[in-house]
Structure 1
Amino acid sequence: MKQSRADEFMEFAAGRTGHLIRSACLLTSGDVHLAEDLVQETLRRLYVAWGRRLGRRIDNPAAYAQTVLVRVFLTHRGRRSSDEVVLPELPDGTAAQDGDPDTRLALLHALAQLPPKDRAVVVLRYWEDRSVEETAHAMNTSPAAVRTRSTRALARLRTLLGPSLAEFTAV
């Protein structure tokens, strides 16, 4: 039975890793190496939780994985040395290839200038299309805090992007 649980996890991980890396790239403002590290840690934690579930199954493994990813990101951001600088780079082959590359770079640069928790709210609410309550649960905070951060983050993005790109923050 343990082998089937391990096989089940490997199948889930293989199918979900690409999506997790794309989300992690947004959270890290395009730092592919950090995104991959965060996803690796997320999958490690998920594997441990997967094994502990014994008779119970994780209700929604994809949502659970996303929640773990955001928490790993926020924990990592709290430990990061203040002298480290993340350079905004477009991820190799992980971002959608359609659209204007200058627009993608402008959005990544603007996201990089948001505080980590505001960036996490934007990614969860508008990239992952999660509800306020789901975002609050993933971030271990209140729905009111998510609404406040969303409003503040979108206003900051509008300022950073200027009038030509403000349409991306019109929600």
Structure 2
Amino acid sequence: MASELAQINVGRTLYPLDDPRMDGFTGRLDAVNALAEAAPGFVWRLQSDSGNATDIKVSDDPQFIVNLSVWRDAEALFDFVYRTRHREVMVQRRQWFEPPKGVFQALWWVPAGHRPTPQEGLAAIARLEAEGPTPAAFSFKQRFAPPEAQGGAAEGLDPAPWCVGWS
């Protein structure tokens, strides 16, 4: 079975999302989401009825937000993140987000058509933090080929026990 690349990144905003100091971030969400959806290799992104994921709560902390998406492969995701206007937002992220205290992004392979949950994504972050890069959770710096290229099949991540402390 073919695999697709899931990615999650998380952050804690410096201010509540409705604070005017967050306007530079929140005011660009629709454009960045549209850019992602039009990017070669984009498959899916987590979103609520609002059209983005900032109001999907995965923590008791109202300023902790999650971004979760699925891509054809790491190259397509890398191109979107670092070679489009998305990069402009990333360069300014310190205006809106606390510096990360640990792993804040993880990549992992899922079966084609699978739509990972935020809990799966948080499990991938926790796993990457605990074990370092493995085929089950990795980063752009140390990537792993899809499971079918390694003679296996992609599997979803079981949120337990890796999500301890995230909910």
TM (normalized to structure 2)? Answer: 0.32
**Which protein, 1 or 2, shows the higher relative CO under an 8 Å CA cutoff with sep ≥ 6?**
2
TM (normalized to structure 1)? Answer: 0.31
| Structure holding more strand per residue | 2
Larger Rg: 1
